[in-house]
Structure 1
Amino acid sequence: MRFRNLTRRREIGANSYLLETGDNRVVMDSGMHPKGVGFDALPDFGPLPHDSADAILITHAHHDHIGSLPVLQRKQPHTPVLMTEVTGELSSAMLHNSVNVMTKQREEDSVTEYPLFTHRELDQIRANWIYRDIDRSFTIPDTELEATMFDAGHILGSTGILIREGSNTLFYTGDVNFENQTICRAADFPTSGIDVLIIETTRGDHARPEGYSRKGEKERLAALIRDTHEAGGALLIPVFALGKTQEVMLMLHELHQEDLIPEMPLYIGGLSTKITVLYDHYASRSRRSYPGFRLLEDVDMLVPRKNPRKRQEIVSSPRTLYALSSGMMTEHTASNQFAWKFLDNPRNAIAFVGYTDPESPGYKIRNAKEGDMIKLARDLPAVPLRARVESFDLSAHATREQIADYAEKVKPKKMLLVHGEESAQQWFMRRFAETLPETELIRPDVHQPIDLW
């Protein structure tokens, strides 16, 4: 079996990987680079001839893993796409939103190739989507390969994928979390009988502080909320619409139930609401904490949207919580536009709970000093930062130590490091050179053919 990296650059971005064995070709994930524009944001599908793939396997519904799926399916019109049911339904919602975003970018930024696909095309390609349950083996269509999906603990429906060819096995982690979140339970991955491990390296460039605990981070967040409430201000929590919004909603509910924060209205955005509807739909039919708990009905603090189908401007009010996407405060998103009228009030606070890319507005804010002028978008004047800014480690990705511990239990013959920046992958290379001296370590270059067995 041979592996090829279809990403355009070796970093976090448009995840997509090709497996070739005999006449069979299987693609794992089909993402879009969050910082790329137009065709440059896509994987490079050059090594994959038209209509030649036997299957496409999807690990989860985040944009960097599904964003180019309709483009890939256009090139592979007869190829089945296999994933969990939850991932399929979430992917549909996220990709329809992507059409809206690209259409707006075409109008505002003159990106002529946008949208790369249409709403009608999305409805049509779903005919080739096939749902599979976790922990149940299945044969990949038109091949002699067997696959099993295992819960990855990252977001609802996320999986790692085990592929078996005869006596040889490969395991692709996708994005993984090895500790319980608020909704998602820790990953449940196999640790034995794996010859080749393809592993994410997202958080390899930094260690978690000594003495860290998730409980401690939640209590720090509660303290910030109490301080903001007492000052008569509002709190903005930039979140990703898929995954982080729902985790934060339930966390705030827990804190209120434990009397750690006062009663405060909670607002979320439109896409977040659509995704939360799906989280609630699978409340009793997925591997999660709080089975049966429905966020839109059971979170008492939540303020329902008056008209879910109509875009509404969210205006800041004192002693109110706002969990708005995007988590990086990307230009023209709800959190970005909201912050423009929010940052200059010293009573207000911003709580970052996830990753922010160094080029994003969110990164600028969380690393700025009080009084710095912040440019949030090209069409908005800079505003002074006077709000309090705090950061919390509530990542949905495993720490580098947790990932390393897992790999050291597996002890694969070969290990491929993907989904990580240069500095992150170098940390893993140094550690595994000491702890797994008999494992062949590989950092796949773009299109580099790698024989797995």
Structure 2
Amino acid sequence: MFFQNLARDNEIGANSYLLDTGDCRIVLDSGMHPKEEGQEAIPCLNEVPYNSVDAIFLTHSHLDHAGTIPVLMRDQPEAPVYMTAATAGLASALLHNSVNVMQIKRTELGITDYPLYGHRELDRLVGRWKHLEVEQTHDLTLHTSATLYDAGHILGSAGVMIESQGKRIFYTGDIQFEDQTLITGAKFPEDNIDTLIIETTRGASPRCESYTRESEEDKLCEAILDTLERGGSALIPVFAMGKTQEVLTMLYKFKLDGRIPEQTPIYIGGLSTKMTVVFDEFASTTARKIPDFKILEDMEVQTGSKGKKTPISYRPGAIFALSSGMMTEKTISNNFAQFFINNPKNSLLFVGYADPESPAGKIRQTRRGDIVRLNPENDPVVLDCPVEVFDFSGHATRDSILDYIIRVNPKQVFLVHGDKPASEWFQQQIAARLPQTECIIPKPKKQYTL
């Protein structure tokens, strides 16, 4: 048995891993690197011989895990792809949007490798996707089986337990152990796990000991209310998948509790609407904290009109939850901010991670009164509104992940999905707390014996 990291580097990038049990060859995820383009955005899939894989698992629908699944499937034409039904719905929408983005980049940036796959090919490949229920074991081969467990990270996210030849190998994918506003926390196995393959995203980011999600929601509500009371509007840049739906659910709660005026208009835009439709299709799933709550039916949400560069117009006294979360150039949140952040009555409220080099990251580093360039095609603009940052991460804290590793007490741990400082923090902690556990930060392409 061996494990191989197919990512190009030890980082949060194009996640993909090969697991060979001797009886079954399995690829876990196949992502697209969010900061690279063309072939450099693809995992090292050339390490996996053509048509040599027995099964592919997609743990969840974020681009860094799902973005090159069609490329992998093309090279592995007989391998079924397993995921939850919710992941299938979200991933299909995401990948079709990815085709559109790649087509634009081919035209505007001259990246001739794009698109890596097309709409018709994607529609055909989706026919090989197989939906699995969580906590139901499925036989992959005569001696190897797999079971999915709710990962709590996003709707449909799941960890994968592989059992073969008396060994139990568990790949977590991305994890959130705490209940979020809409999605319940992970329900992971802890017994008799020999090898644990686990994410380390927040290993270099300790959380304040006084933090609670309830208090963070209170702070967000207060910031919105202050903005409305001074006659401004709140712009909340959000990722279309996951963060949009979490924020809308918070706003729904705030209105139900009478904490913000019920008549306050809420606007969403970009890919968010399509993703929210999928979330609503799975309103009755057990992973939803508020059963049968349908965002687009139970809330008065304005979705704007199609076909315009900025389909939503500014108005005072409103909340704008617009994608993308990092305010990437030419997205609705970026275009909207161009004429929004110079108004001192407004507020810009961040609820998720932003890469320091992204427009959102640069705004966070800009002092009020200074100028910021959101898009090279537009003039710089003065940042003259309050900017606040809130912690609603979909990733588990480093302490909760470490606690889980200690409870599992595996013989072997592979630390993945983390930048070097994050993974090294876990490695140091495990060495001190579980000295009998073999702890590995797997180098790309190298094979490790289980």
Could you tell me how far apart the structure 1 residues matched to 2:426 and 2:22 are?
A: 32
Could you tell me how far apart the structure 1 residues matched to 2:356 and 2:438 are?
A: 32
Deviations 1:223-263 (Å, cap 9, x if unpaired)?
11111111111111111111110010010110111122223
For residue 285 of structure 1, report the CA deviation from its aligned partner.
3.3
Could you tell me how far apart the structure 2 residues matched to 1:319 and 1:310 are?
A: 23
TM-score (norm 1): 0.97
Could you tell me how far apart the structure 2 residues matched to 1:211 and 1:242 are?
A: 28
Partner of 2:227: 228
The reply on whether 1:117 has 2:130 as its aligned counterpart is no
Could you tell me how far apart the structure 2 residues matched to 1:360 and 1:179 are?
A: 28
* Structure 1 unpaired stretches of 5+: none
Residues 417 and 443 in structure 1, CA contact (< 8 A), matched pair in contact too: yes
For residue 143 of structure 1, report the CA deviation from its aligned partner.
5.3
The reply on whether 1:372 has 2:353 as its aligned counterpart is no
Residues 329 and 335 in structure 1, CA contact (< 8 A), matched pair in contact too: yes
Deviations 1:358-393 (Å, cap 9, x if unpaired)?
221111112221122212223222211111100001
Residues 356 and 363 in structure 1, CA contact (< 8 A), matched pair in contact too: yes
Show the 5 A alignment for 1:51-200: 51-140=51-140, 142=141, 144-200=143-199
Residues 16 and 28 in structure 1, CA contact (< 8 A), matched pair in contact too: yes
Could you tell me how far apart the structure 1 residues matched to 2:63 and 2:71 are?
A: 13
Check 1:434–1:261 CA distance in 2 against 1; reply closer, same or farther (3 A cut).
same
For residue 287 of structure 1, report the CA deviation from its aligned partner.
2.2
Please tell me the residue identity of whatever aligns with 2:243.
K
Deviations 1:182-238 (Å, cap 9, x if unpaired)?
110010000111011111001111111121111101110111111111111111111
Q: 109-118 or 6-15: which moved more?
A: 109-118
Partner of 1:393: 391
Deviations 1:92-136 (Å, cap 9, x if unpaired)?
000000011111111222222111110001100011111110010
Residues 305 and 312 in structure 2, CA contact (< 8 A), matched pair in contact too: no
The reply on whether 1:408 has 2:406 as its aligned counterpart is yes
Partner of 1:347: 345
Once the two structures are aligned, what percentage of the paired residues are identical? 50
Residues 269 and 303 in structure 2, CA contact (< 8 A), matched pair in contact too: no
Please tell me the residue identity of whatever aligns with 2:119.
H
Could you tell me how far apart the structure 1 residues matched to 2:286 and 2:89 are?
A: 13
What secondary structure, in the 3-state scheme, does the structure 2 residue paired with 1:240 have? Answer: coil
The reply on whether 1:264 has 2:264 as its aligned counterpart is yes
What secondary structure, in the 3-state scheme, does the structure 1 residue paired with 2:39 have? Answer: helix
Residues 414 and 442 in structure 2, CA contact (< 8 A), matched pair in contact too: yes
Check 1:306–1:337 CA distance in 2 against 1; reply closer, same or farther (3 A cut).
closer
For residue 312 of structure 1, report the CA deviation from its aligned partner.
5.5
For residue 306 of structure 1, report the CA deviation from its aligned partner.
4.9
Residues 250 and 299 in structure 1, CA contact (< 8 A), matched pair in contact too: no
Could you tell me how far apart the structure 1 residues matched to 2:284 and 2:177 are?
A: 22
Partner of 1:332: 330
2:360 to 353, 362, 368: 362
* Structure 2 unpaired stretches of 5+: none
Partner of 1:210: 209
Partner of 2:284: 284
Check 1:217–1:209 CA distance in 2 against 1; reply closer, same or farther (3 A cut).
same
Partner of 2:252: 253
Please tell me the residue identity of whatever aligns with 1:82.
Y
For residue 166 of structure 1, report the CA deviation from its aligned partner.
2.1
What secondary structure, in the 3-state scheme, does the structure 2 residue paired with 1:408 have? Answer: helix
Partner of 1:295: 295
Q: 262-271 or 145-154: which moved more?
A: 262-271
Could you tell me how far apart the structure 2 residues matched to 1:10 and 1:380 are?
A: 36
Could you tell me how far apart the structure 1 residues matched to 2:245 and 2:89 are?
A: 16
Could you tell me how far apart the structure 1 residues matched to 2:380 and 2:167 are?
A: 57
Q: 365-374 or 243-252: which moved more?
A: 365-374
Residues 146 and 163 in structure 1, CA contact (< 8 A), matched pair in contact too: yes
Please tell me the residue identity of whatever aligns with 1:89.
G
Please tell me the residue identity of whatever aligns with 1:207.
P
Could you tell me how far apart the structure 2 residues matched to 1:377 and 1:426 are?
A: 36
The reply on whether 1:32 has 2:32 as its aligned counterpart is yes
What secondary structure, in the 3-state scheme, does the structure 2 residue paired with 1:33 have? Answer: coil
Could you tell me how far apart the structure 2 residues matched to 1:403 and 1:334 are?
A: 35
Could you tell me how far apart the structure 2 residues matched to 1:193 and 1:311 are?
A: 54
Residues 19 and 25 in structure 1, CA contact (< 8 A), matched pair in contact too: yes
Residues 89 and 278 in structure 1, CA contact (< 8 A), matched pair in contact too: yes
Check 1:350–1:17 CA distance in 2 against 1; reply closer, same or farther (3 A cut).
same
Residues 30 and 67 in structure 2, CA contact (< 8 A), matched pair in contact too: yes
TM-score (norm 2): 0.97
Could you tell me how far apart the structure 1 residues matched to 2:23 and 2:52 are?
A: 9
Check 1:417–1:53 CA distance in 2 against 1; reply closer, same or farther (3 A cut).
same
Please tell me the residue identity of whatever aligns with 2:48.
L
Q: 148-157 or 16-25: which moved more?
A: 16-25
Could you tell me how far apart the structure 1 residues matched to 2:167 and 2:23 are?
A: 17
Could you tell me how far apart the structure 2 residues matched to 1:143 and 1:114 are?
A: 39
Show the 5 A alignment for 1:309-320: 313-320=311-318
What secondary structure, in the 3-state scheme, does the structure 1 residue paired with 2:196 have? Answer: strand
Please tell me the residue identity of whatever aligns with 2:361.
Y
For residue 284 of structure 1, report the CA deviation from its aligned partner.
1.2
The reply on whether 1:240 has 2:239 as its aligned counterpart is yes
Could you tell me how far apart the structure 2 residues matched to 1:100 and 1:47 are?
A: 28
Could you tell me how far apart the structure 2 residues matched to 1:285 and 1:248 are?
A: 19
Q: Superposition RMSD on alpha carbons, in Å?
A: 1.4
Residues paired across the two proteins, number: 449
Could you tell me how far apart the structure 2 residues matched to 1:170 and 1:338 are?
A: 46
Could you tell me how far apart the structure 2 residues matched to 1:177 and 1:111 are?
A: 36
What secondary structure, in the 3-state scheme, does the structure 2 residue paired with 1:46 have? Answer: helix
